[in-house]
Amino acid sequence: MKIVVDANVPAAEACFGTLGEVVRVPGREIDAATVLDADALVVRSITRVDAAMIEEVKRSGSPLRFIGTCTIGTDHMDEQALADHGIAFASAPGCNAEAVVDYVLASLATLAERQDFRLAERRVGIVGVGNVGGRLLGRLTAMGIECLACDPPRVEAESIEEERTGPEGLAGFHDLDTLIDECDVLCLHTPLVSEGPHATHHLLDARRIAALAPGMVLLNAGRGDCVDGRALRQRLAGQGDITAVLDVWEHEPAIDAALADLAGIATPHVAGYSLDGKLRGTHQIYRALAHHAGLPARLTINDLAPPPPVARLVLDGGLSSEEALRLCMRVVHDPRRDHDSLHREARRLGMAKGFDGCRTHYPLRREFASLELSLREGALGLAPLLTGAGFRVATD
């Protein structure tokens, strides 16, 4: 079996090499010609697999029978075209959700330091309460931070279930305009849906961007097309009274350089780029391909992950809760590094090549849960906050 794999998929040889011959190809270079003699294709989010590509592949008589994406999102895949041509498909839901939540928390902690506010005193609105948004809601709530949630498709689905089985806890969901009116931070974690009653393309359009209150933080780590980038750039350039944290963009990798310059934190679609998350994605697709091929999947996720570079940190008294939180986060992940890297590489190579270069050569990053915090007597009071944030906490 010949398996074409995006060059940025980690542990590809360790996993897929047990199933067949692995051929690595840069994600943006994968096209129909690349897979004409392949049995399986494994990609990440930058490879577009549309109906035209599938038609060309099938006309060639290619043996391609399986495509997997090592990502949560699937909007780069034409699933209907795959089904129409009998090509099995698998994605990796939830694989990098913890990493995205780490990114969100680290970014908000950075802004709190820059702008001299306490995160605990801010109300956070979460739009989209799926794999990522649901975890973010859980962690923020555990940290004692007030949250409002918006997820119309989930409300609709639960309303249907309520009719069938009785009340099931719809309380707590609000519409988007309520979040805009009542929250200090707005976090977008929705999939990209182009049509229908719950379309998310330009969900934050010019009207809603104009309605954001001065001082609000807008964070998008979902899909770039969910925000009208032009309208956001005009708001930031004109009034300059809100802060944007953007990890996803319209027209990637040739993103709006002026918008990136105006964003408080601008990163190249790497919120979910932890090694842990990537390995989970690889492993999920490895298991799916093995099942499709009728072969055993003997490798476990623990066989793939190396020890973290910093495994344990000891804390004693002397730090405020916000200082301790920032310190622990930055031991694991500091989004300022990714912001600086994007701007540096864009100046050196141009935006599109710089954007992709940052992703291709992204440095090793682990998740908060890889770090164990040992709390001595003077720091015991920090345990609920740090545990809520996602760290493993032990008390000496």
Q: Which residues pair with 147 in a beta bridge?
A: 124
Q: Per the annotation, where are the binding residues for substrate?
A: 45, 71, 273
Q: Convert 229-245 to b/e letters by CB count within 10 Å (16 or more is b).
A: bebbbbbbeeeeebbbb
DSSP state of 192: P
CB 279 within 8 A of CB 305: yes
Tokens standing for residue 153: 């498709």
CB 9 within 8 A of CB 44: yes
CB 126 within 8 A of CB 137: yes
Q: Per the annotation, where are the binding residues for NAD(+)?
A: 151, 190, 247, 272
Q: Per the annotation, where are the binding residues?
A: 45, 71, 151, 190, 247, 272-273
| Dist. CA 210–CA 235, nearest whole Å | 7
Is 76 catalytic? The answer is: no
- The HSE-up count of residue 298 (CA atoms within 13 Å, CB side) is 6
Tokens standing for residue 302: 């623990």
| Dist. CA 266–CA 259, nearest whole Å | 9
Is 223 catalytic? The answer is: yes
DSSP state of 167: -
Is 158 catalytic? The answer is: no
| CA 367 remoteness from chain centre | 13
Of the residues 189, 208, 269, 366, only one is catalytic, namely: 269
Tokens 């104009």 map to which residue?
Answer: 210
Give the 3-state DSSP-derived string for 71-94, with helices as H, strands as E and coil as C.
Answer: CCCCCCECHHHHHHCCCEEECCCC
Largest CA distance in the chain: 69
Task: Select from 256, 286, 356, 240 the least CA-distant residue to 1.
Answer: 286
| Dist. CA 17–CA 10, nearest whole Å | 12
Of the residues 98, 250, 252, 367, only one is catalytic, namely: 252
Of the residues 122, 189, 208, 223, only one is catalytic, namely: 223
Q: What residues have CB less than 8 Å from 386, skipping those under 6 apart? A: 324, 325, 328, 373, 375, 393
For the annotated catalytic residues, the residue numbers are 223, 252, 269
